[in-house]
Every structure is written in structure tokens, then in C-alpha cells.
Amino acid sequence: MSKNTLFTLLSLFLTAGFFACQNDNNETQEVEISLPLPPNNQIAPPAELDTIFKPINGVVRGFDWSTTADDIQAKETASPVEEADQNKKVFTIDLNENEFADITYQFQGDSLASIQLDIYPADEAAAQMYAGNLKSFFNVKYKKRAELWEGSENGKIFTVFLTEKNSDAGPFVTVIWEREGE
């Protein structure tokens, strides 16, 4: 038997074996992978943000995603801004004599769905300082992703978005914590 014939036969057997071993069944199996939850490290905020973030437990100001509108109405230490509404609670916090922040709690049914923080600094330099301090704080507190952060509290994953903008009324910094769908 020549080498070419031997090579051809060997190739045919390997090819036949390859196709015989393939599974004709195109079923796929779902595999559930349990990935570790992203962090929500309980660290002290920079001094400029202390008034906003105290107490440091929970997602923000001691509240987590299981907090009800009634709980926030009763326990939030900032001053209420708008009339009590079951879907939205708005409060204001004086940061100093020239700057303040509004915090809005949005509800979906009985549970907290998102938290929005709007910081109104005195000028553009202060806005950049707040945005820089928030970014540094979030880089340590949460898991950094491309344009946002990811965290978890009591097993519920959430994302954090930060924007710095200017309007006719002046500069402002917005942070939104949003619970991921379940």
C-alpha cells in the first residue's frame, strides 16, 4: 500500500469518525451561573459629600430598595420640597450657604425604584469639584463600568449614573441610582 493511499484512507476514517461523533441533537442546555454581586462598600464619603451621604448604610442615606414611601417620609432628615405623593418624594439638603442638593425618591408600587440626586453648586469650579469627588468615591464604593457604576444592596443589583451639566440657572451635577429589573 502506498503512502498516498494510506493517507487517503486515514483521512476518510478520521472524517467519518468526526461526523459520527457529532451530536445530531441541536438541543441547548441552559447553565445558570452565579456571579458575585457587585459591591456597595460602606466607606466614608469625602468631607464635601458627608451631608449628602450620611448615614452611609443602604444605597443612599440609609435607605435600600425595600424602603417604602412611608418609611422615607418618616425617616428622611432633609426638608421635604413637594407635597407627599406615593410615587415620588422630593427633599432638599443645604450643603452650605450658597449650595444645596435635591434628592428625589421614585417608587414603583410599594418599592423604591430609583433615587436621583441633583447638586446645585455655586459655580462651575464647584461643580467640577463635586463631580470629581463623586467619581473618586464611586470608583471605590462600586464596580466601575464604561460610563457608570454597578452596586448591590441586600442582593438587589443597581446602577449609578453621573452627569455634570450647565443650564441657564447655572451648573449642576446629577447622580441617579436605579434598581435593575427583577
Would you state the pLDDT for residue 34? 58
Confidence class for position 5, pLDDT limits 50, 70, 90: low
75's grid cell: 425617616
At residue 157, what is the residue type?
I
More confident residue, 33 or 88: 88
Q: What is the pLDDT of residue 181?
A: 79
Rounded to whole angstroms, how far apart are CA atoms 145 and 158?
A: 12
Q: Report the percentage of the chain scoring pLDDT > 70.
A: 79
Q: In the beta sheet, which residues pair with residue 92?
A: 79, 102
3-state secondary structure 77-137: CCEECCCCCCCEEEEEEECCCCCEEEEEEEEECCEEEEEEEEEECCCHHHHHHHHHHHHHH
Whole-number average pLDDT of the chain: 83
Candidate from 18-27, 31-40, 128-137 with smallest mean pLDDT? 18-27
Q: How confident is the model at residue 124 (pLDDT cuts 50, 70, 90)?
A: very high
pLDDT at res. 54: 85
The answer, yes or no, to whether residue 133 has pLDDT greater than 60, is yes
User: What distance in Å separates the CA atoms of residue 37 and residue 34, rounded to the nearest whole number?
Assistant: 9
At residue 115 the predicted structure's pLDDT band, cuts being 50, 70 and 90, is: very high
pLDDT in tens, 47-103: 889 899 888 888 999 999 999 988 998 999 999 997 767 789 999 999 999 999 999
